[in-house]
Structure 1
């Protein structure tokens, strides 16, 4: 469980660091444009304040840039603070530029050029790189309020509202109401589009994390079940080995008994003169039969234990097969998730196309700003340079959109590769499921052998009971008819036949136990 949590946290940290990296590079680009615009107004009174503000804006990205370079952790609080500090810096630039244009007689020039409006859009865009919907909405709403505040400030400084952009009505210090409303509505649309994209990406990320956790848990369950199956197979192998040892001992006892019967047959003539010794020998034989009978009871108990173990293993294998099928179904669900991710990345490509269109509109606004700066004459020379740099920045944004499209394409390839790996896992799970079915079949066959062995054990036990009764009868005959050598000969013949049956039965038992032992070894190897 700790390994699963570490992997997911590592995934989230990597995604967060990539977002911060994009924010830092975007800030550096805007900062360079600010410095170029400030340099073009070297002789103006606002040069020093604008230079300080530009340096502060760039320095605001140095700390996260340093953390990224040293591979240190960056908190979300710091990243959010950097974005809002950027808003504060741009606010100062925005209102100061409105005031400077007011001193030149056209406070509305800042609004008509649209440079700060574009910068507000860029700040909203790179705030979405942290994948937080609340942050995107907060930055967007704040930027809208600040821009509306700039319109209000422009009006308070003497700018006049006009409803539509009629050429005969457009003069210096005029605010076109419809244009500014369109800007605010367009900015709101951008914010809500970014919020939808971030929400979609966050939901996809959460679904992927949930599926990964579920997959890790199921894999751990399979490993535990496999370990339990291996332990059960080892226990069965040990039990069968003990059973084989007892069978060997019983076989040896049967051989010894057969040898004793042969000795009795060879000394039939001596029995005529030593009936007492023969009676003692028969009594000893009865004792041995009792010992063998006790050993058979132990063998029967062991056989029942083996049967119980085999039944339990069959159940465990059946449960493992069911779980393997569940893992296969989970693999199918994971393939479905990868398909949904492909669709989501298609939507991201659509949003990326929208960003490219925004860059085109930014070029158009930069062109309008250049025209307005040309109208302003010498006073608009600095903003003409800024407008040119904004156009360059728009081109870079369009280039970045192409880079994002490439990243999305690479991510799609990674998703396809993940799909292929998922299919391989599915194939391996199917192979494991087939193997479990084969093991289940083997165990069921082993259970049948155990049942057959129990029947054979019962037959052998009945035979030993008959032998025990017969041995007692022989003892009685030996006591009563010590002088009847013919009777003793017949009794010995019966003992010999019975002993031969016992030897054959023991040999059959030995072969059955050897077969069970081999099957247990095969199960252990599986």
Structure 2
């Protein structure tokens, strides 16, 4: 029925409105996710920049370590030369020989430490480079996530807009159904009024027919009353006339019988006479 259809359309409208609201909420979440992804991408960019700076600093430290190692090597050579010169000096160069030996030991330790620092810096630079590469890949993934989230947000906008249009269309259809329902109810009222008028007209027509039949019966009765004396008088007049007509018919028949008898006699005489002549 129209009421059930209207109720169904209202339910559909409410469902579509809820879908549009959910789409808008999903759009907000997508926008937030997009913002987070963009923030993460920015952080990763900053991290990559920091790692690049660390890598550059490590390279500088490695260069400094190389310089220290070179200085240690030169110091070691100087200590060796000092030890040789102290040996040449004999007893006067023993103290200088001890100092030269200590300087040589320090130079060797500095050279060893510089080598270790260089190794650590190289390992740190390698790991930093790997971290920079991973950070760049992660930044690219975050950029891709941001692009995908933007597409999802755009689709959610389209879904929300389409749901809004559908809800508007269903509201228009529901309004039209309501108007049709009102028109149907008005038509039903008019039909009821027409039916009542028809019944009233039928009752009036029946009453008129009853009145007409009553007038016909009275008219026929009055005609019969007026015609009865005339019919009786006509019957009385017709009876003597019929008696006289019967007598007249009998006399005429008797006269014709006599004539026939005389004719027969005359004929017989003529016949007998004939026979006699023969």
User: TM-score over 0.5 for the alignment?
Assistant: yes
- Provide Cα deviations, 1:358-389, integer angstroms capped at 9, x if missing partner: 312244145425644664539949x8578557
1:321 and 1:379, CA in 2 relative to 1: closer, same or farther beyond 3 A? closer
Indicate conservation of the 8 Å contact 1:307/1:447, yes or no: yes
- TM-score, length-normalised on structure 2? 0.58
CA distance in 2, matches of 1:336, 1:432: 21
* Among candidates 153, 163, 172, match of residue 459 of structure 1: 172
Q: Does residue 377 of structure 1 match 2:112?
A: no
Q: In the alignment, which residue of structure 2 is the partner of 1:333?
A: 46
CA distance in 2, matches of 1:391, 1:458: 96
Deviation at residue 396 of structure 1 after TM alignment = 4.9
Q: In the alignment, which residue of structure 2 is the partner of 1:473?
A: 186
Indicate conservation of the 8 Å contact 2:30/2:149, yes or no: yes
CA distance in 1, matches of 2:83, 2:98: 10
Deviation at residue 393 of structure 1 after TM alignment = 5.4
Q: In the alignment, which residue of structure 2 is the partner of 1:368?
A: 82
For this pair of structures, how many residues does the alignment match?
196
SS at match of 2:170: helix
Q: Does residue 355 of structure 1 match 2:44?
A: no
* Among candidates 398, 417, 422, match of residue 130 of structure 2: 417
User: What is the root-mean-square deviation of aligned Cα atoms in Å?
Assistant: 3.3
SS at match of 2:39: helix
Deviation at residue 452 of structure 1 after TM alignment = 1.7
Indicate conservation of the 8 Å contact 2:68/2:114, yes or no: yes
Indicate conservation of the 8 Å contact 2:79/2:101, yes or no: no
Q: In the alignment, which residue of structure 2 is the partner of 1:123?
A: none
Q: In the alignment, which residue of structure 1 is the partner of 2:145?
A: 432
Q: In the alignment, which residue of structure 2 is the partner of 1:402?
A: 115
- Provide Cα deviations, 1:209-249, integer angstroms capped at 9, x if missing partner: xxxxxxxxxxxxxxxxxxxxxxxxxxxxxxxxxxxxxxxxx
Of structures 1 and 2, the one with the larger relative CO (CA 8 A, separation 6+) is: 2
Deviation at residue 428 of structure 1 after TM alignment = 0.5
Deviation at residue 420 of structure 1 after TM alignment = 0.7
- TM-score, length-normalised on structure 1? 0.33
Structure 2 portions without partners, runs of 5+: 199-278
Which structure would you say has the larger Rg?
A: 2
Q: In the alignment, which residue of structure 2 is the partner of 1:95?
A: none
Q: Kindly report which structure 2 residues correspond to 1:28-427, keeping only aligned pairs within 5 A, or say none.
A: 257=1, 289=3, 292-294=5-7, 296-359=9-72, 360-365=74-79, 367-369=81-83, 371-372=85-86, 375=89, 377=91, 380=94, 384=97, 387-388=100-101, 391=104, 394-427=107-140
Indicate conservation of the 8 Å contact 1:374/1:384, yes or no: no
CA distance in 1, matches of 2:31, 2:116: 52
Deviation at residue 427 of structure 1 after TM alignment = 1.3
CA distance in 2, matches of 1:378, 1:452: 107
CA distance in 2, matches of 1:314, 1:358: 65
Give the ranges of 4+ consecutive aligned residues of structure 1 lying more than 6 Å apart after TM superposition: none
- Provide Cα deviations, 1:172-227, integer angstroms capped at 9, x if missing partner: xxxxxxxxxxxxxxxxxxxxxxxxxxxxxxxxxxxxxxxxxxxxxxxxxxxxxxxx
Bigger helix fraction: 2
Indicate conservation of the 8 Å contact 1:370/1:388, yes or no: no
Indicate conservation of the 8 Å contact 2:82/2:97, yes or no: no
